[in-house]
Amino acid sequence: MTTQLLDDSSEQARLDARSDARFDARSDARFDARIAAEERVEPKDWMPDAYRRNVIRQMSQHAHSEVIGMQPEGNWIGRAPTLKRKAILLAKVQDEAGHGLYLYSATETLGVTREELVEALHQGRAKYASIFNYPSLTWADVGAIGWLVDGAAIVNQISLQRTSYGPYARAMVRICKEESFHMRQGYEIMLTLCRGSDAQRAMAQDALNRWWWPSLMMFGPPDAESAHSAQSMSWKLKRQSNDELRQKFIDQTVPQADFLGIDIPDPALCWNASSGHYNFGDIDWSEFQRVISGDGPCNRERLSHHVRAHDDGAWVRETLQAYRAKHPARSAERA
């Protein structure tokens, strides 16, 4: 009897496996056809596990970047040179929090919870943009961040408006609408400094010197060495390669630096008339690897600040939960 049962169940398991495989193959083909036809993938669609994992990785990394990115700029809210600049910076940092929320919510459509995402960040399993591990030392850094970091983010995010995962693409459309303000306020700070005193110009130049190379690294490793690029491109999660986007950013930024009258810290930078693009020097990828793997100037500070803020906010979450437990009918009544 026992043997018989075992045989039956293993036979059943074989049948199940075969039908699962047939189902997967059919679903896979449908998924591939959808991607090929430029259709968006929506939350309730069947999708390969690897695709789901990859979207969660990419979107949560993007969300974490928005949130951690508030720290270097938040550093200057209390020390902005005028009330106007302070109000602007405050509004910009608020926007970044909102962008993080759009992206976390879009990530949660894939069945992962906010708590899991935050935990992955705190345990160092999830990454965020390496650039936010650099310190914002002077007021000019606030200008450079808006101009270069948001400028680079825009290049990337415009491309992602056409990403294959629907909720991600829609979040990008919303975010891009707000980004232009961020970049322009940064450039305006740079322009004001560059049209100011020698000391102000020197401050702007110093900020460009420190932020230029990390901004180029924001696009990720060269295509040939990027761990996820080829797969993400074939899934149309990424629409343009790291190197293409980086080149686009350089081409748009060099004339902006020329207009400011400050120098991009790259002696190899020059116009290439035959390619129609700027040539640029070698990027120090060992620095990128060091910073992304946790050993940049501010990694520990950024993460410990986030953990502290999260822990400090625990009483709010606990209070909300206690309130809901005490007044289960309240929200229904009001409706």
Partner 1 sequence: MTTEAMPLFEVFIRSKRGLDHRHVGSLHAQDHRQALEYARDTYTRRGEGVSIWVVASSDIVASQESDSASFYDPLDDKPYRHATFYKLPDAVDNM
For the CB of residue 291, give the shortest distance to partner 1 in the complex, in Å. Answer: 27
| x-or-dash string of contact with partner 1, 103-132, rule CB under 8 A | ------------------------------
255: contact with partner 1 by CB under 8 A: yes
Degrees, nearest 5: CA angle 60-62-63: 65
Q: Which is nearer to partner 1, 53 or 195 (CB)?
A: 195
| x-or-dash string of contact with partner 1, 50-89, rule CB under 8 A | ----------------------------------x--xx-
Among 91, 137, 224, 322, binds partner 1 (CB under 8 A): 91
> Can you read off the two tokens belonging to residue 288?
């990128």
| CA–CA dist 320, 7 (Å, integer) | 53
Task: Decide: 139 and 203 in contact? Cβ < 8 Å.
Answer: yes
Phi and psi at 277, nearest 5°, equal -135, 165
Among 42, 225, 284, 295, binds partner 1 (CB under 8 A): 42
Among 54, 58, 185, 226, binds partner 1 (CB under 8 A): 185
First to last CA, the chain: 58
Phi and psi at 278, nearest 5°, equal -85, 140
3-state secondary structure 295-317: HCCCHHHHHHHHHHHHHHCHHHH
264: contact with partner 1 by CB under 8 A: no
> Can you read off the two tokens belonging to residue 303?
């993460």
Measured in whole angstroms, the distance separating CA 141 from the mean position of its chain's CA atoms is: 20
Sole window of 34-42, 128-136, 201-209, 318-326 interacting with partner 1 (rule: CB under 8 A): 34-42
Q: Helices 166-194 and 198-217, interaxial angle, to 10°?
A: 160
153: contact with partner 1 by CB under 8 A: no
Measured in whole angstroms, the distance separating CA 108 from the mean position of its chain's CA atoms is: 16
Q: Which is nearer to partner 1, 200 or 223 (CB)?
A: 200
Sole window of 46-54, 130-138, 180-188, 234-242 interacting with partner 1 (rule: CB under 8 A): 180-188
Give the Å distances, CA to CA, from 315 to 308, 312, 318. 13, 7, 5
166: contact with partner 1 by CB under 8 A: yes
Q: Using CB under 8 A, list all residues that contact partner 1.
A: 34, 39-42, 44, 84, 87-88, 91, 95, 151, 166, 169-170, 180-181, 183-185, 187-188, 191, 252, 255-256, 259, 331, 334-335
